[in-house]
Chains A and B, each alone.
Chain A
Amino acid sequence: MSTDAIALPGTGLASRPIVVRLHEWVTTVDHKRLGILYIIYALVFLLIAGIEAIVIRIQLIRPHNDFVSPQVFNRMFTMHGTTMIFFVVMPVLFGFANYLLPLMIGARDMAFPRLNAFSFWMTAFGGLLLYFSLVGANGLYGAGNAPDVGWFAYAPLTSQTFSLGHSTDFWILGILVSGFGSIGVAINIVSTVICMRCPGMTLAKMPLFAWLNFVMAGLVILAVSPLTAAQIMLLVDRYLGGHFFDTQAGGSAVMWMHFFWIFGHPEVYVLVLPAFAFVSEIVPVFSRKPIFGYSVMVGATVAIGFISMSVWAHHMFTVGMGANANTFFVLSTMAIAVPTGIKIFNWLATMWGGKIDFKTPMLFCIAFLFQFLVAGLTGVMLGTAPFNWHLGNSYFVVAHFHYVIVGGILFALFGAFYYWFPKMSGKMYNETLGKLHFWLFFIGFHLTFDFMHIPGLLGMPRRIYTYEPGRGWDTWNLIVTIGVFFQAAGILVFLGNFIWSYFRGESVGSDPWDAWTLEWSTNSPPPVYNFATIPEVKSRRPLWDLKHPDDPD
């Protein structure tokens, strides 16, 4: 693997036996190696969950298709959702935060390096536990199978009565274990941002990346804890005779929904704030302007953090909470559109009057802006409770949240991959392949998720393994499935580009983008200790000050 990417110059680590090098990776507490481990781990699961998505879409390509059985289909969407949220997007974002935060704030490592390693391995084992269900879920027979309760696993479908065997237990344990990892990372990020900033870097001079990840980590602590509690309660129900969610013994299915979504909605912001962080770093550099309205951006981030804790029940407009509760959650949901909108305007204003360079990272960020705008607007539609009574649990909501997670978060993430790959590897990626990846994925994304809104408007509910002909859904589903293959091709180009560039790419210096934050002041890849001397900063753009001593920030 990429041991030499992290090696001290001239120590010749690459020539050491592979066992030694592997041992170093397994026992490492270096934030950069752990960051890369998170990222590679997430990419492996991205491929697995992507294949699950392809199975789902082939099954739905036409009505009454029998590519897979209903049982397999239900397992596929459960595993796809669970994997993508808990074992792809969260880890990859933690990986970038891990790798970049200390570099950006001029620190030599995270606040708690050993906790950092512990957190990664908890997340890793969580994912393995979930997939071990495929062999172990039915107990000792060795004939297990994956969970099939859906990624939000509504009670009482998860009770012993309706979920026999151990598949649901593996789902619970996988998320429980990785949840400990997430909380560990979050504590680490909060502590690092508070305690490890270099001299001169006041909170108001931190890169927005650090601010956004700081708020994200706070949300993880608040949101993942209730989920962890709920998983333990569910285990108590299943094995110790508890009745929290056992509706046949007076338990409450609705309580599970509250527990899940008070995790689930802040979780959306846990995922999207780091995406905002990437965009807030990439857009200024490729527009050659500082971020517009830094303090407003910070304020909007903090506002999103607070408001996001009060919107969870907009996932529950159809469960019969009553008119007053519904009205409250409409208001809180719409309120969060304001700080989110402010962010979009500020990114636009950052580009306004700049000199925009359409390198691959910037292409992904511009597509992010467009797609996140659409996702936000369909979100407003879904936040309108009466409209939601139709759209909720239909294919419209599936299209909406994929617009957020793929069109928003994944596009920003691809931008981040291209932007920081030279820093992490010391090599430049291939720009032509990068653009090919962008266009393939862009076309595939729009074929799939634009057209996926329509069957939802025409009454197609989610999570159905097949559908009746004559409902007007056939053509849309065909187009949606075709788009998936463009996306898959794009992903292969993306992986191929990075593997090829890692071995054959051109070496780059420390600052290929002429950027302004501290990570670009050290070598590519950075040495283990990050900075030979701890930097001292005077503004938000320390490298700008260096390059323009006549016109400092």
Chain B
Amino acid sequence: MRLVDKFGHGIGLQIFVCVCCSAAAFADHAVPFSPTNIFAPASTAAKSIFGLSLFVLAVTGAIFVVVFTLLLYSVVKFRRQKNDDGREPPQVYGSNQVEIAWTVIPVLIVVALFMATARVIADIQKASLPANTIEVVAIGHQFWWEYRYPGRGVVTANELHVPVSDPSNPTPTLIKLLSADTDHSFWVPRLAGKTDLIPNHPNSMWIDPQETGLYLGQCAQYCGTQHAKMLLRVYVQSRDDFDRWIQQQRQPAFVKEDASQGQRVFETTACINCHTVAGTAANGRFGPDLTHLMSRDTIAAGAAKNTPESLRQWILNPDSIKPGSLMPAMQLSDQDLVALTAYLETLR
């Protein structure tokens, strides 16, 4: 019975190791278990972290097996017997040889782990990026992401677009990380480890995603009420698609004639205090740039799909989607709300 109990101790960890190993085995196929699995890396930095992780897991796993076996053995072997004679066991006070052995061996393990770690830190944090690196500035806000492409004249929000990077001719993306208010953290597990966005303390990180697709993540540093719904979406596109996207985003807003009623609502209410629509009077900086709102799949930093219904709901009562967000409920009449939504839907 005791033996069974003791085996029970290890089950959780065994499952944990199994998950890690199977995650490793499937890393090259469709994302296993989760779209945010750290063991399904898709860029150079994430892959080298993954390699290091496996090494660390193997070393710590081996230590676990050895020490756990010793513990299990001593608990089973040295338990007081039923027919115990009541005499005290031999009193052993220590042994210098044994102490030296179990000091030196851990020291050697630590040295090995440290060297491996130091190399990966240098590989990632001291990497020199090629001249054709794409530069993006990511600015964390309560509770959304602003992305600016310096030199390309593009400003967007919440959905980051980057080109895929061919390992033979890498086009990595350097993300400069700033914050407009509190601390945030940029974490898209399949692309890289997290790096914090701290006001008055510019940071940067780089990614070179090697497969196209959508990569998910979310803010990983508590930043206030709606920290949970500050989601990250990174669209990795082929170079042509990316260039087309940049071209399209550079255009000013194209407003259809029949949306002028909604545009007037937008420009005569508090909307323009916070939002920009390039080419119009709206130039607020506090909230997301809406110039190409309809080119995005989601609103409210990924909290809702970008549909006319959720747009209306968001304007009318943001708390129903994201309680505690800084977007105020706009208190519009039904007529104005319909017109405003119609206007927003033209911002392609």
Contacts and interface: CB of A to CB of B under 8 A. Distances in A.
Interface string A298-330: 000000000000000000001110110011001
B221 A154 contact: yes
Contacts of A466: 228-229
Contacts, number: 297
A162 B198 CA distance: 15
A338 B103 contact: yes
Interface in A374-414: 374, 377-378, 380-381, 384-394
A371 to B, nearest CB: 9
Interface in A445-495: 446, 450-451, 453-454, 457-468, 470-473
B21 to A, nearest CB: 12
Contacts of A473: 34
Interface in A415-467: 446, 450-451, 453-454, 457-467
A293 B95 contact: yes
B49 interface: yes
Contact size class for A?
35 or more
Contact of B60 (A293, A296, A322, A381): A381
Contacts of B92: 289-290, 292, 349, 353
B29 interface: no
Given A384-B56, A461-B187, A320 B231 contact: no
A346 B101 CA distance: 12
B118 A327 contact: yes
B90 to A, nearest CB: 7
Interface string A347-376: 011011111111000000011011001100
B107 A338 contact: yes
B195 A389 contact: yes
B71 A370 contact: yes
Contacts of A233: none
Interface stretch (A25-33, A113-121, A178-186, A250-258): A250-258
A319 B107 contact: no
Interface string B114-153: 1001101110111000000000000000100000000000
B193 A386 contact: yes
Interface in A181-218: none
A71 B64 contact: no
B114 A330 contact: yes
B287 interface: no
Given A330-B121, A390-B49, A393-B185, A253 B90 contact: no
B196 A320 contact: yes
A394 B90 contact: no
Contacts of B142: 162
A344 B67 contact: yes
B196 A319 contact: yes
Interface of B, helix, strand, loop or mixed by DSSP: mixed
B82 to A, nearest CB: 12
Nearest to A470: B35
Interface string B152-189: 00000000000000000000000001000111010101
Contact of A454 (B19, B95, B204, B225): B19
A355 B78 contact: yes
Given A74-B225, A334-B110, A373-B68, A459 B189 contact: yes
A470 B181 CA distance: 30
A21 interface: no
B113 interface: yes
A294 interface: yes
A464 B201 CA distance: 24
A553 B88 CA distance: 13
A268 interface: no
A412 to B, nearest CB: 15
Contact of B52 (A378, A384, A463): A384
Nearest to B223: A157
Given A157-B224, A323-B126, A386 B181 contact: no
A165 interface: no
Nearest to A463: B222
Contacts of B78: 287, 351-356
Interface of A: 69-71, 74, 148, 150, 154-157, 161-162, 247-248, 250-254, 287-290, 292-296, 318-320, 322-323, 326-327, 330-331, 334-335, 337-338, 341-342, 344-346, 348-349, 351-358, 366-367, 369-370, 373-374, 377-378, 380-381, 384-394, 446, 450-451, 453-454, 457-468, 470-473, 548, 551, 553
Given A337-B110, A388-B193, 18 more contacts: A156-B183, A156-B199, A288-B88, A319-B198, A338-B103, A338-B106, A341-B102, A356-B79, A358-B79, A380-B113, A386-B121, A390-B187, A454-B15, A457-B20, A458-B38, A463-B228, A464-B218, A468-B231
28 contacts: A70-B225, A74-B227, A157-B182, A247-B201, A289-B90, A293-B95, A319-B196, A320-B196, A320-B204, A322-B125, A341-B106, A342-B103, A342-B106, A349-B92, A353-B78, A353-B92, A355-B84, A356-B80, A374-B13, A374-B64, A381-B60, A393-B185, A393-B220, A459-B38, A461-B219, A464-B218, A464-B227, A471-B34
